[in-house]
A and B are shown apart, each in its own frame.
Chain A
């Protein structure tokens, strides 16, 4: 049975905001120099860091079908799709301009509101047309310049049944770094959530034992955040001094 068969599917009925490129940060200058020492002439350079915009219908491939099924099941449970999924994103660097539809490398990302995360996971896992039964863990990303959404938790789900992959992304502000745990739906996320807590300081509410996993228990700070220094010491080599990696010249 193919996904979506026998269902009444309302296409394009979701209330999603207009797609705009997401401004993540703004960088100035080049080579990492921000004082008078910069004689490169690039000091006035301004580069905006943006993430690709949200996708528009039709998404192509199986993406429309899966999103529609998810919307329908959520609707049955009394949750509006627009409340649960903040945006739908297709990343596809190989997509041609002619509009031939997504390439084989296209990836679907759903930005889920944290209060609906567990419900979305449950639907994705249990619905026969979705069946994302295998979770491949949690990864964190820290965007310090993305005000109000500094911390992202990223979940990668695989449907072995339908040979599909999907990414869920949940954001939370640095001031309130709480995301509900998904261990009830995917027990495998246990250690992955501990790792994300350890490295990013995202608190997974309801986790059975949210302790540090890689760093020692009494370690201060969360090392993978962008404001946590890499550390390192200058190394002398053949008379010259090689500075530690995080103080070297940088281009981006």
Chain B
């Protein structure tokens, strides 16, 4: 056993006594498995301890794998391993029509499905050149759904983040509140997740009767739960001491690493795609972009809570507009693109437009042919490429779509904010304590479905 290297950069801060004190048998390793063996062998050679955390670890938000090199309680190196949830969604989208693509991208970030759907559809509409033709009601419904989704996503972030630190009540309240929102999703899309509700040209179906009242009834409950969460977390001394000054990433670091969303805003920059590059009519809504300057995990919690309130403010404005546009179209008028969107729900839960069926089956052979071609072949999209971004709960979600003029995407690429933000794990964790890794990763709020796609 060699003498400890006191001139190494970490030695001065080390909490571990010189290794002679332990005797020759320490440190010891129990290692098994292919890759892991090699890492440990390498580690013993350099007297490092490498801890593998995940991919099956409850605090890694799914299947994130963290490889931590530790010195006592201090993390000297942190690296991410991802790819455990890669399902080739982007590749699959190249083999489906433009409309079917929305059923694929909704499955990427499963906590924020409506953002992928909307970003993808906005991109498709941009390639089609029909951005201005999207009915206002469809845009309002999209905004409403996205903002409700933002609240639901932040609630999971706060809830699971609390749970990882042992605050189970935070988790139960977060998920109870999210349930209220998922019920609203179910009322309008028929599903709690994997909606495929936003479609190129508009949305799949209009909001059902009484939907705005249902949302209005749910909002005070959500607001109440948010209040409870705030009471439980924000002034709690244990919570504060676990989060304050943990996972700090300053503004320069955020820009260098391309970090957007609440993490960037916690460093003081009010960059929000809804304000900087408005889409779906966000420039007409009244809301604020909260920022902080502490750039730590605690400020990100505060910001996420505040963003929930801002989202509810937008939701209320949407409800007013929905009431004002009752009965208006929710799908673009161009019949070469529009799927029937005034659906009624049958006994089996499946939606059909009865008028449309009557028309194609009873009145017009040409309409039947057209419907058949639209659904099986799909519509052609002019050749070209586009880049559309939306403000996702975790940052800027970008969609790069390439069309070769055919009825299927030639290439669909999603720049998922979780994927990008995970690059910051090393910066957030190195030099901190092992227990802070969990907090720092939770403050990034990665969702591995989006990371791996």
Q: Which residues of A contact B (CB under 8 A)?
A: 24-25, 47, 49-52, 91, 93-94, 104-105, 107, 109, 133-137, 139-142, 154, 156, 160, 163, 165, 167, 186-192, 195, 212-216, 223-224, 230, 245-246, 248, 250-252
Contacts and interface: CB of A to CB of B under 8 A. Distances in A.
Contact of B407 (A94, A165, A188, A252): A252
5 contacts: A105-B131, A188-B420, A189-B258, A252-B405, A252-B408
A214 B65 CA distance: 12
Q: Which DSSP category, helix, strand, loop or mixed, fits chain A's interface?
A: mixed
Most chain A CB atoms below 10 A, which of B277, B407, B410, B452 = B410
Interface string B419-453: 11011000000000000000000000000000011
Contacts of A251: 377-378, 406-407
B221 interface: no
A252 B406 contact: yes
Contacts of B393: none
Interface in B253-269: 255-260, 269
B423 A190 contact: yes
A160 B267 CA distance: 15
By Cβ-Cβ distance, the 5 closest A-B pairs, closest first, are: A252-B406, A188-B258, A93-B129, A139-B413, A245-B95
A137 B92 CA distance: 21
A120 B411 CA distance: 25
A167 B453 CA distance: 23
A223 B277 contact: no
Contacts of A190: 423
Contact of A139 (B96, B256, B400, B410): B400
Contact of A136 (B82, B90, B94, B398): B398
B109 interface: no
Contacts of A165: 277, 387
B287 interface: no
B88 interface: yes
Contacts, number: 132
A47 B453 CA distance: 33
A246 B91 CA distance: 11
Given A224-B91, A245-B92, 15 more contacts: A49-B383, A52-B383, A94-B132, A105-B386, A109-B385, A134-B260, A141-B402, A154-B400, A156-B400, A160-B276, A186-B256, A191-B419, A212-B83, A223-B88, A230-B91
B91 A137 contact: no
A52 B132 contact: no
Interface in B90-105: 90-92, 94-96
Contacts of A192: 415, 420
Given A134-B258, A137-B398, A137-B415, A245 B386 contact: no
Interface string B121-163: 0000011110110000000000000000000000000000000
Contacts of A187: 256-257
Contact of A214 (B83, B378, B385, B408): B83
Interface string B71-92: 0000000000011001010111
B389 A136 contact: yes
Interface string B355-399: 000000000000000000000011010111111010000001010
Contacts of B384: 51-52, 91, 93
B316 to A, nearest CB: 28
B277 A163 contact: yes
Nearest to B373: A251
Most chain A CB atoms below 10 A, which of B127, B258, B271, B422 = B258
A137 B82 contact: no
B353 to A, nearest CB: 24
B257 A188 contact: yes
Interface string B162-201: 0000000000000000000000000000000000000000
A167 B387 CA distance: 9
Contact of B398 (A52, A156, A189): A156
Contact of A160 (B128, B271, B402): B271
Contacts of A215: 83, 86
